[in-house]
Each structure stands twice: as C-alpha cells, then as structure tokens.
Amino acid sequence: MLSSTPSPASTRSSTEKMIGAAGPKSPPHFGDIMSSRETSNVIPEGFSPLERIMLTANGNVQRILSAYHNAKVTVEILGNELVSSSSLPESSEWDQLQSSPVVYERKVLLVIGSKTSFNNFLLFEYLEKICCTAYSTVVIRDAKYLRLIVDEHVGIGQLFRFLSVLPEFALKDAGRGMPSRGDEFNTTPNSVEDKEGFWRTYTLESAGITCTINEVFPGDVFALSDAKTGADAA
C-alpha cells in the first residue's frame, strides 16, 4: 500500500485555487438561475442583512416574504395599461415590434395575510398588510410574447414562467424613503411613504422583452404580526 503525505499544493480546494496571488476572485453573479451580472456594487451602506436580501432578490420576493412571515402572500393587480398606443397593433404588424415595441405599465401590490377555515372553523388568521408596491414598465419586441397576451390571455407577470425563459436580472438602483418617480408614488395606499422604507429599481430582460421594475417596501415589512389560532379567536 502506498503511503505518502500530500503536499499543501496538492490539497488545496478548488476555491483556494481560484484565489491566486491577486486575492479572492468573485464570480460575476450570485449563483441564481436568473442572473449573470454583479449587482452588489450598487447597494448603498446602511441596509440590514434582511433588506439586502430583498434588494437582490431576483423574481422570488413573494416566496421570501411568505417564508419569513409564514403566511400567504398574494398579488393584487391595481393597473395594467397599454401606453405605447391607444390600441394593440394588428397581428399583420407584429413583425415591426423591434422598431415599434408594445409598452405596458403595471402597478401591483404584494399583500401578506390570509384566513383558512375547515368545516366553518377558523384555523389561522393573519392581519393583512401591504408589504410591497411594484411599478413596472414592460417593453415587448417579440411577437411570441404579444401573442400570449392577446391570444392566450397570459398575464404579463407570468410571461417568463409560461415560456420557461430565464431572464437576466440587473439591480440598477436602491435607496431609502421614496424613489424619485412620478406622482403615482404619492398615491401609494397604506403608506409605504415612510422614511424607514426602502426601494429598488431593477430590470428583467430576455430577447424580445424588457421589464423595468420599481419596488417600494414599507419600513415595517419585517415586523411580525400576531397570529391567532381558531381556539384563541373563538
């Protein structure tokens, strides 16, 4: 049986080999399936670890909030408006989308809270509250996306998932308070307009479609509400 003591060089892990003489070499992404770009360099100082998780989440904000609060998080669509023209182009004109894209603007709320009943007995109650307000501009340059909207009635928020497309995620900006956007931010319900709140702007992009999204989170987004069981509520 051969017996030898391996040299330090031969026992280095693959991670150690990546470091080299110039120091650690970071991959250009977070390891997420939707991102191949570095985003951490745009996050200012002064955010908590939980806030940084939300700022860099790429398409899974609803799942993160649901897991954190251990409660149902639903999407409420407040607006979905065609803004590029007064009406959608005819299908015969869809080959011109590259030069004349279709543009939608959307506004949605993420709402924490649900009530579950079984045989008329309240099992779980959670106070509903708005945990995120999102404003999106969706630019469509590919007929396959427009066909899904017009013919299949697929919601804009489900386009990527419906086609099994993995868009590129890029965080563009982030900050506290209210972002510098139009008057619609001044009409946000349930007061996400608090100084302790935070926001981000990011893009989800794939060939033929670009979504620019502004998300605003209230300062109490991580405040856990008291839940009631059916026995306690009786």
Question: Any idea what the CATH number is for the domain that residue 138 is in?
Answer: 3.40.1410.10
**Domain assignment present for 167:** yes
- CA proximity to 147, closest of 102, 105, 108: 102
In the predicted model, residues of the chain with pLDDT beneath 50 are: 1-33, 35, 39-40, 117-119, 122-123, 182-192, 227-234
Q: With respect to residue 5, please indicate whether it lies within any of the assigned structural domains.
A: no
Q: What is the pLDDT of residue 17?
A: 35
Most distant CA atoms of the chain, gap in Å = 81
| Residue 154, in any domain of the structure | yes
User: Which residue range forms the structural domain that includes residue 105?
Assistant: 32-233
- pLDDT at residue 52, rounded to an integer: 93
Q: What is the pLDDT of residue 28?
A: 38
Distance between CA atoms of residues 137 and 159, nearest Å: 14
pLDDT at 209 (0 to 100): 92
Of residues 169, 179, 177, 156, the one with CA closest to residue 202: 169
Say which residues have a Cβ less than 8 Å from residue 34's Cβ, sequence separation at least 6: 58, 59, 166, 167, 168, 169, 204
Q: Which of 64, 150, 74, 71 is nearest to 110 (CA)?
A: 74
Please check whether residue 64 lies inside any domain of the structure.
Answer: yes
In a domain, 215, yes or no: yes
Note the pLDDT of residue 206.
92
Total tally of structural domains belonging to the chain? 1
- Report if residue 199 sits inside a domain: yes
Instruction: Judge whether 86 lies within some domain.
Output: yes
β-strand partners of 154: none
Assign 107 to helix, strand or coil: strand
CA dihedral 196, 204, 59, 142 (to 10 degrees): 140
At residue 183, the pLDDT reads 43
Helices (H) and strands (E) in the chain, counts: 6, 9
Instruction: Say if 122 falls within a structural domain.
Output: yes
